[in-house]
Structures are given as C-alpha cells and as structure tokens.
Structure 1
Amino acid sequence: MRIRLGCEMRYAFPYPVPMVVMLNVHPTRAGALEAPDTLRTEPPVPVDLYRDGFGNLCARLSAPAGSFTIGTDAVIDDDGRPDPVHPEAKQHAIEDLPAETIVFLLPSRYCESDLLADEAWRLFGHTEPGWSRVQAVCDFVHDHIAFGYEFAHGDRTAQDAYAGRRGVCRDFTHLAVAFCRALNIPTRYCTGYVSFIGEPEPHPAGDFAAWMEVYLGGRWHVFDPRNNAPRIGRVMVAYGRDAADVPLTHTFGPNPLVGFRVWADRIDHLDASGDAPILPEEPLPPQSMTTRMG
C-alpha cells in the first residue's frame, strides 16, 4: 500500500524567529519512503538537521519576518495491516529490563506517574500483568476522557486530564502513559500520522496524532488510548517521555500560526505528470495552536 503523507504550516511572524522542527518521518521508518521527505520552506531558508537524545530527526532554521510556510510531502510504502496485537506479551520484572527502557518508567513533565501511582494500583492492580493490564488502562482512559478539539490546552497534565475528564489525543496518551509507568511498565509517548484508511466516513480534517508504545515481551508495542482500536497507516514522527520532548514545532518567539494542513491518504497511482494529486485547501482546525506540542 502507498500512502501520501505530509503537512503544511503557515505563519505570519512579526520578526525573525529561530525554530526547531520535528516533521520528518522517524528514522526507523525512513527506509520505507519512496523519496526523502525533505523539509520545505517558503521562502527558502537554510535547514540544519540533527538527532536528539531519542533518535528523532530534528531541523533547525530561522524563520524570516512576514509570511512563512513550512512542511513536508512524501509517499511511504506500508504493509496495509492494522497495528499488531500480541495478547501473549508479558511484563518484565524491573530488574530484567534493558537499561535504555528505564527512563520510560520515570515521571515526566506531563505524566506524573508518581502522583497517580496509588490510583493506578487501585484501578488496575487486580488485572493480569502484561498486555491485558495495558489494554485495561487504555479501555479506562478511552471511556474516562471526553474528546473534543475545543478542549485542547497546552498545559494540561495527566493528573489534570484525569480530574477534568476531557481533552484531545495527547491528553488520552499522557494519562495512559502515566498509569502504565506507575504500574512499572516502560511507556513512551509517540506522535505522528494516523490515517483514516479503512475507517467509516465521514472523516474529520487531518491532524497529527498521539499514541504510546509500551515495552512488553522484549519489544515495543503500539497502544492508542484515544482510538482504542488497531489502525492502518500509522507512521511515527517522534517519540519521547511526553509531549514536551516532541513538539512538532518549537518557536523561540511568537507562534502566529495562520494555516494548517495534515494528510495521510492512500494513493493507487500518480497523475500524468508523475506527481501525487494536489490536495484541496482545508480550514485551520480549532486545535491548531496546540499541535506544535504534538
């Protein structure tokens, strides 16, 4: 299966602003791209690439004053299968975990697993350790939080989401991450593309999504507390401890976002020119001012 994916963000900067951007497909999936998903800017500016401490691909640039557009556009080959399900995956004893997973057991800015530990064990201590326990967490979070773009708030933590019972996908993920870490399951926050392939119409406007990966049975597994079902066409951009580690764009100054589009669509063929079809313009979604935090 071939999926065209990308994004476009339009700004109106009052003065030049340095930026760090995470919009490229994660290096672990880059080999599936038909061509590099090169970061594009208008007007063109120099872009320097580097890897952060988690291995995410980051770009540094300085946006000029005035109108500025940044984005990517690429085609990726995907196996077309839903997220794998492995109910036999076992939870590791802490002393048996690889050293590199330990950081994903610790509390972080948006995932206060230490403050939610008592509640996590009250709610899930009776469940079977391993895959079943993580799924129980996702079932609870999915039912506990009401989704709505109007509920987006850049400073909401897992504890806030638990108390307020509303939010967007990052809030679902932060709460599930915090619960899993409190239950001694290494869990990392992920951001990227989740397509609507195979999902019933109508589809909402495209957006970046948040989900999590847990370490069970010697490998990382995808769980999505917001959708709480396997999806087709999930492509990771970045992962970290929480949204603070993986902002899609971080501006060292004002963030006057005036336009926003994201797409992840199945394509069966290219047009006569050899290019994928031009996407229609879409309105700025109400959550756009917070998408820079993943």
Structure 2
Amino acid sequence: MTVRVGCSLGYRATGDATLLLNLRPQTHAAHAVIFEALTIGDELPTESFGDSHGNHMLRGRLSPGEHFLRYDAIVAVTSQPDDQGAHASSSSPAAHLPPEVLRYAFPSRYADSDKLVNFAWQHFGHIADGYPRVRAISQWIHENIEYRYGSGVTEMSAWDVLRRGHGVCRDFAHLAIALNRTFNVPARYVTGHMPDIGFPDPENHMDFHAYAEVYLGDRWYTTDARFHVPRIGRIKVSCGLDAVDGAFSTIFGGANLSYFQVWAYQVKHGTVGVGDPLDFTQRLDNQTTIVTEAPYFVPER
C-alpha cells in the first residue's frame, strides 16, 4: 500500500527562539519511506541529530517574524494489520530485560505508574501475565475512558486522566503505559500517522496519533487503547518515555504555533509526488473496503 503523510506548520516568533522538530518517520519493519521532502522557509539555520530513543530530530533557530515549514512523504506500508502480541511469550523479569529497555519500566512525568499500583492490581492482578493482561488493560481503557476530540490538556498525567474519565489519544496512551508499567512491563509512548485504511472516520480527523508499545518476550508490540483493534498503515514517527519525548515540536523562547495542518491518506502508487497539492479526492482509505496493490514492499517480520 502507498500512504502520503506530512504536515504544514507555521510559527510566529516575537524574539529569538529555538525550535525542536520530530517529524520524520523512524526506520521500521512495517513501512519504508520512498520519497520525502522538508521545506524550511527563509532558509532557517538547522541541524539534524538522533536522540537516545532513535527519533530523527531537527533543531532550528527562529528570528522574529513568521516562519513556515512543510514535511511531505510517500511511504510504502504493509497491508497486514498491527501485530499486537497475541502469540508473544509472557513479559520478561527485570533481571532479563535488555539494559536499554529497563528505563521504560519506570514511572515518568506523564505516565505516573507509581500512583496507579493499587488500582492496577485490583482490576488486572488476576489476569494472566503477558498479552492477556496487556489486552485487558487496553479494553478497560477503551470502554471506560471517553474519547473527546480537542479535550487534551498538556499537563495532564495518566492519574489525572483516570480521575477525569475522558481525554484524547495522548491520554489513552499515557494511561495504558502507566498501567502496564505497574506490572513491570516496559511500555513506551509512540506518535505517528495512521490513515483510515479499512476504518471509516465520519469526522475525517487526520492528525498526529499517539499510542503505546509494550515489551513482551524479546520485542515491542503495539497496544492502542483509543481504537482497541488492529489497524493497517500505522507509520511510526517517534517514541519515548511519554509525551515529552514524542512531541512533534518543542519551542524554547518567544514563539507560538500559528498554523497547523496534518495529512495521512492512502493513494495509488505512482500517482502522487511529494510537494504536489493536497487532493483528498484521491484518497483510497476512509472506507470499509481495503484497497491493495501489487506488492512492491515486503515488510520484515
């Protein structure tokens, strides 16, 4: 399948500021970037680097005034749905976890698992370790936390979401991460693009999406309490302990986001190029029918 993803961002700076961007998809077994283009207005001075979570970071300096950036990419994705770990082994004890994975088992700013221990054990302590418990946590969040588009609050933690009872995808992800960490299951925050392949969205909300990954056996698996069903075409951009590491932009200094547009939709291979005008009449998703093409990308498993 072929998916076009990207974003157009505008920033208004009142003084000198530094902008940290996290927009480019990570290397992943289920998708591959075929073409991409990043346009930075006014030739802003920038530098690229990778952070400790494997994210592709871009740092730029803003002078006073308006600044516009655009990232556009054509991505090949597998037509197979998420692997959510149904056949995974149980979680590994801390003594056997790889050193680089251990940090994802600790409480963090927005995934404050230390506050949720009693709740977690009361609701999920009787469920078998591994995938059964991970799935039960996802199902409980999906059924008991109301999704309200536009209700996100940047300072809200998993504990706050549980008490409030509603939130956005970021909140669903934080609560899933925190509850899994209470059982010493490493869990991390993930952001990315997710077209509506085989999943009609009548409100047509195409935005950055947040979900979680859990470490079972010897690898990471997707868990997405917002939808609680395997999805097709998920394109991972970043990951980290929580939303601090996964923000698509972080501003240091006097600047504000003034314009924001995101796209993620399936297209026919070879019909759209990076930089072309957005034309949502060409989208093949946002319907129950799944449109596939001759395979030109074989994902790793």
Question: What TM-score, normalized by structure 1, do the two folds share?
Answer: 0.89
C-alpha displacement of 1:217: 2.0
CA deviations on 1:201-259 (whole Å, 9 max, x unpaired) are 42423100101110112110001011111111111111000001222111112442222
Equivalent residue number for residue 61 of structure 1: 60
Question: Relative CO higher for 1 or 2, CA cutoff 8 Å, sep ≥ 6?
Answer: 2
Q: Please state if 1:233 is matched with 2:233.
A: yes
Alpha-carbon contact 1:271-1:277 (below 8 Å) kept: no
State the SS of the aligned residue for 2:215: strand
Taking the aligned partners of 1:87 and 1:52, their CA distance within structure 2 comes to 31
Taking the aligned partners of 2:40 and 2:76, their CA distance within structure 1 comes to 25
Equivalent residue number for residue 260 of structure 2: 260
Alpha-carbon contact 2:14-2:255 (below 8 Å) kept: no
Taking the aligned partners of 2:32 and 2:225, their CA distance within structure 1 comes to 26
Read off the aligned partner of 1:60 and give its amino acid letter.
R
Q: Please state if 1:144 is matched with 2:144.
A: yes
C-alpha displacement of 1:185: 0.6
Unaligned runs of 5+ in 2: 281-301
C-alpha displacement of 1:194: 1.1
Equivalent residue number for residue 295 of structure 2: none
C-alpha displacement of 1:280: 5.7
Q: Please state if 1:72 is matched with 2:78.
A: no
With 205-214 and 78-87 compared, the bigger mean Cα shift is at: 78-87
Equivalent residue number for residue 186 of structure 2: 186
Alpha-carbon contact 1:214-1:221 (below 8 Å) kept: yes
State the SS of the aligned residue for 1:214: strand
Taking the aligned partners of 1:100 and 1:227, their CA distance within structure 2 comes to 29
Taking the aligned partners of 1:171 and 1:145, their CA distance within structure 2 comes to 9
Alpha-carbon contact 1:24-1:38 (below 8 Å) kept: no
State the SS of the aligned residue for 1:114: helix
Equivalent residue number for residue 41 of structure 2: 42
C-alpha displacement of 1:75: 0.4
Equivalent residue number for residue 204 of structure 2: 204
C-alpha displacement of 1:38: 4.0
C-alpha displacement of 1:27: 3.5
Equivalent residue number for residue 165 of structure 1: 165
Read off the aligned partner of 2:164 and give its amino acid letter.
G
Alpha-carbon contact 1:192-1:235 (below 8 Å) kept: yes
Identity %: 35
Alpha-carbon contact 2:104-2:186 (below 8 Å) kept: yes
Map 1:67-106 onto structure 2 (within 5 A): 67-89=66-88, 90-106=90-106
C-alpha displacement of 1:29: 6.3
Equivalent residue number for residue 299 of structure 2: none
Taking the aligned partners of 2:74 and 2:21, their CA distance within structure 1 comes to 20
State the SS of the aligned residue for 1:62: strand
Alpha-carbon contact 1:32-1:76 (below 8 Å) kept: yes
Alpha-carbon contact 1:192-1:208 (below 8 Å) kept: yes
Equivalent residue number for residue 156 of structure 2: 156
Equivalent residue number for residue 20 of structure 1: 20
Higher strand share: 2
Taking the aligned partners of 1:154 and 1:201, their CA distance within structure 2 comes to 25
Question: What TM-score, normalized by structure 2, do the two folds share?
Answer: 0.87
Taking the aligned partners of 2:31 and 2:126, their CA distance within structure 1 comes to 42
Alpha-carbon contact 1:270-1:277 (below 8 Å) kept: no
With 93-102 and 160-169 compared, the bigger mean Cα shift is at: 93-102
Taking the aligned partners of 1:221 and 1:21, their CA distance within structure 2 comes to 25
Taking the aligned partners of 1:40 and 1:110, their CA distance within structure 2 comes to 32
Alpha-carbon contact 2:74-2:274 (below 8 Å) kept: no
Runs (4 or more) in structure 1 with deviation over 4 Å come to 269-272, 274-277
Alpha-carbon contact 2:72-2:275 (below 8 Å) kept: no
State the SS of the aligned residue for 1:91: coil
Equivalent residue number for residue 288 of structure 1: none
With 252-261 and 13-22 compared, the bigger mean Cα shift is at: 252-261
State the SS of the aligned residue for 1:49: strand
Read off the aligned partner of 1:17 and give its amino acid letter.
A
Read off the aligned partner of 1:47 and give its amino acid letter.
T
Taking the aligned partners of 1:34 and 1:242, their CA distance within structure 2 comes to 29
Read off the aligned partner of 2:75 and give its amino acid letter.
I
